[in-house]
């Protein structure tokens, strides 16, 4: 199984590029490393999935919410997610908890997949787990950093990822406004060309 992780700040087009690749190229599946985090965040907040999806909309996820509190203070959905990740899950299950959960999801749901694209590479510990699994299954690991004018990491706890000793291939791409499809095609072309060169 080949695994491609997209690394970019909010608004840079990760989800749109993943959707384009999975909808237009046969054998490509879209997944998220933070799938487990969403499940924990929703359950611990005591809200329905529909309500959470409304709260986590781009217009509201940075704003304090009446349904979410930490130490008596209302927090935004993004702050709630960071709290669940850094103060609940990782202290109990380790820094690589989300990477391990993502691998288990791949084993359960995508064993026959040719390429799985993750729209949210978060931290080095997570991509290490995904890289190891890609090579264990006879595939390769790819990391694409996507840059877009006006998009930065701001208050996000994540940042740019680099392989730095992790097995795989990495490259930077620019997602120019109005040209998302071109960026997606460039990423796919790089992936296909690299795989073909290695075979």
Q: What is the pTM of this model?
A: 0.84
Structure tokens belonging to residue 38:
């969403």
Q: What's the pLDDT score for residue 94? A: 85
pLDDT digits (tens, 9 = 90+) for 57-108: 878 888 998 999 999 999 988 889 889 888 888 888 888 888 898 999 999 8
For residue 103, how far is the Cα from the chain centroid?
13
pLDDT in tens, 147-186: 999 988 887 778 899 999 999 999 999 999 999 999 999 9
Confidence at residue 199, expressed as pLDDT on a 0 to 100 scale: 63
Q: What is the pLDDT of residue 7?
A: 94
Q: Which comes out higher in pLDDT, residue 123 or 173?
A: 173
Distance CA 162, CA 171 (A): 9
Q: Is 122 helix (H, G, I), strand (E, B) or coil?
A: coil
Q: Which residues of 25-61 are buried (b: 16+ CB within 10 A; e: fewer)?
A: beebbbbbbbebbbebbbeebebeeeebeebbeeeeb
Quick: pLDDT tens for 34-54. Answer: 777 888 889 989 999 999 989
């Amino acid at each position: 199984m080949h695994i491609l992780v997209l690394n970019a700040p909010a608004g840079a087009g990760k989800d749109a590029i993943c959707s384009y690749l999975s909808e237009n190229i046969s054998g490509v599946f879209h997944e998220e490393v933070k799938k487990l985090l969403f499940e924990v965040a929703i359950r611990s907040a005591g809200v329905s999935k529909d309500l959470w999806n409304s709260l986590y909309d781009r217009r509201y996820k940075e704003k304090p919410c009446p349904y979410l509190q930490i130490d008596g203070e209302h927090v935004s959905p993004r702050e709630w997610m960071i709290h669940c990740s850094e103060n609940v899950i990782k202290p109990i299950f380790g820094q690589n908890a989300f990477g391990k959960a993502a691998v288990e999801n791949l084993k359960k749901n995508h064993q026959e997949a040719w390429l799985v694209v993750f729209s949210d590479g978060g931290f080095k510990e997570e991509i290490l787990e995904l890289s190891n699994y890609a090579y264990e299954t006879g595939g390769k690991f790819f990391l694409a950093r996507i840059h877009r004018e006006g998009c930065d990491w701001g208050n996000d706890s994540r940042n740019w990822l680099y392989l730095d000793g992790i097995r795989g291939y990495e490259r930077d791409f620019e997602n120019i406004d109005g040209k998302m499809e071109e960026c997606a095609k460039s990423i796919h072309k790089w992936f296909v060309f690299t795989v073909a060169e290695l075979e």
